[in-house]
């Protein structure tokens, strides 16, 4: 608190303030209330503030106050391991009971602990869990769509190359056919001795014609 007091006295609207577990070390309700009052004051001054917390009241604070945003690091509920993905707009979910259960703490203790967690905290945790799952599904869908776009772009480029090669080969075949026909006309003139002067050499077809 002495450090926080010093920060409040020195900070300006150009300050960057980093606070770890603001309000910790006392009664959680009282600590959360004090933390919210401090953050309100810092917001009035206009400083940039980043604060970490385990208090559910401060997680709700991030939703209720303008120009305040929650963020957390994603935690895989199935494996109980961090994924190291930053989730902007979503507060962190409490996983203490789940981790204790995974570590093998007696089931009766886990059940009692779950029953003692307040309804408000359970609802907040459920809400956060839903947000995390929605964000995960949205990210996976975005990755799937990006893969489809990349695949379509690759196929389009391949088709364009094939079409270009086809047009080149077609022009070559037309030129070969024209040369061969003209050669046959000239050969016929020479061998028959007849007047083929009225015959017109075959010209190359117009480029791009079907």
| Same-domain check for residues 54 and 15 | yes
| Same-domain check for residues 121 and 79 | yes
| Same-domain check for residues 62 and 4 | yes
Answer yes or no: is 173 within a domain.
yes
- What are the 10-residue block averages of pLDDT along the chain, 210 residues in total? 94 95 90 93 93 87 84 82 86 80 88 76 66 74 87 88 86 84 77 59 52
Count: domains in the chain? 3
Answer yes or no: is 101 within a domain.
yes
| Same-domain check for residues 79 and 54 | no
- Domain span at residue 128? 70-137
Answer yes or no: is 205 within a domain.
no
**Of the candidates 161, 165, 174, the residue with the CA atom closest to the CA atom of residue 209:** 174
The 3-class SS string of 30-77 reads HHHHHHHHHHHHHHHHCCEEEEECCCHHHHHHHHHCCCCCCEEEEEEC
Given 15, 34, 68, which residue is the final one in a domain?
A: 68
| Same-domain check for residues 42 and 7 | yes
Q: Does residue 20 sit in helix, strand or coil?
A: strand
| Same-domain check for residues 26 and 82 | no
DSSP per-residue letters across 82-151? EEEEEEET-PPPP-HHHHHHHTT--HHHHHHHHHHS-HHHHHHHHHHHHHHHHHHHHHHHHHHHHHHHHH
| Same-domain check for residues 25 and 51 | yes
Answer yes or no: is 180 within a domain.
yes
Distance of CA 97 to the CA centre of its chain: 30
Q: What is the pLDDT of residue 50?
A: 95
For the packed helices 28-45 and 2-10, what is the interaxial angle rounded to 10 degrees?
Answer: 10
Token output for 14: 């150009």
| Same-domain check for residues 1 and 53 | yes
Given 68, 84, 112, which residue is the final one in a domain?
A: 68
CA distance 175 to 201: 12
Answer yes or no: is 165 within a domain.
yes
Answer yes or no: is 142 within a domain.
no
| Same-domain check for residues 158 and 180 | yes
Q: Does residue 81 sit in helix, strand or coil?
A: strand
Answer yes or no: is 121 within a domain.
yes
63 touches 41 (CB < 8 A): no
């Amino acid at each position: 608190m002495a450090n926080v007091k010093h920060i409040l006295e020195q900070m300006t609207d150009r300050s960057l303030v980093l606070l770890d577990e603001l309000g910790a070390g006392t009664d959680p309700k009282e600590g959360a209330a004090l933390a919210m009052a401090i953050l309100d004051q810092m917001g009035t001054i206009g400083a940039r503030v980043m604060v970490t917390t385990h208090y559910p009241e401060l997680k709700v604070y991030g939703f209720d106050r303008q120009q305040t945003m929650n963020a957390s690091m994603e935690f895989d509920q199935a494996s109980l391991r961090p994924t190291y993905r930053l989730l902007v707009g979503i507060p962190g979910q409490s996983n203490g009971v789940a981790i204790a259960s995974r570590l093998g703490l007696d089931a009766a203790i886990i059940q009692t602990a779950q029953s003692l967690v307040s309804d408000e905290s359970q609802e907040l945790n459920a809400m956060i869990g839903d947000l995390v799952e929605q964000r995960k599904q949205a990210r996976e869908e975005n990755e799937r769509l990006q893969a489809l776009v990349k695949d379509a772009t690759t196929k389009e480029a391949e088709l364009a190359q094939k079409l270009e090669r086809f047009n080149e080969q077609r022009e070559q075949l037309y030129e070969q056919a024209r040369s061969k026909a003209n050669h046959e006309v000239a050969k016929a003139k020479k061998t028959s001795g007849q007047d083929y002067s009225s015959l017109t050499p075959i010209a190359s077809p117009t480029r791009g014609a079907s």
